[in-house]
Amino acid sequence: MDLRHGDGTAGWPDGGEFDVILVSATSAEIPAALTMQLAPSGRLIIPLGNPDGVQRLTKLTRAPDGRFVEEEIEEVRFVPLVSG
């Protein structure tokens, strides 16, 4: 298992592909760097929405053919994801 603490908007450039990515801060959109690091059939769990409004815990799955399938799980409340 690999774990990294750092700028979540940049992904982990030298980390390769991951089966699971868990983001513990809300973002208005899914950072492209994270989607590119998902392995086939990999899952990304991230809260999406306005830090001061409605946020939805979202699961993004990369299908074996490379498509992304997004599923809303439930409303949540997280701190904002900030760059840097």
- In a 3-state reduction of DSSP, which class is residue 30? coil
Residue 45: partners with Cβ closer than 8 Å, 6 or more residues away? 20, 21, 22, 23, 57, 58, 59, 73
Higher pLDDT, 75 or 2: 75
Identify whether 29 is part of a domain.
yes
H-helix segments, 11-76: 32-36
More confident residue, 52 or 30: 30
The pTM score is 0.85
Question: What residue numbers bound the domain in which 55 lies?
Answer: 8-76
Domain count, the chain: 1
23, part of any domain: yes
**26 occurs within a structural domain:** yes
Is residue 82 assigned to a domain?
no
Domain assignment of residue 84, yes or no: no
- Give the model confidence (pLDDT) of 16-51 as tens digits: 899 999 999 999 999 999 999 999 999 999 999 988
CA–CA separation, 76 vs 18, rounded Å?
24
Is the pLDDT reported for residue 80 higher than 80?
A: yes
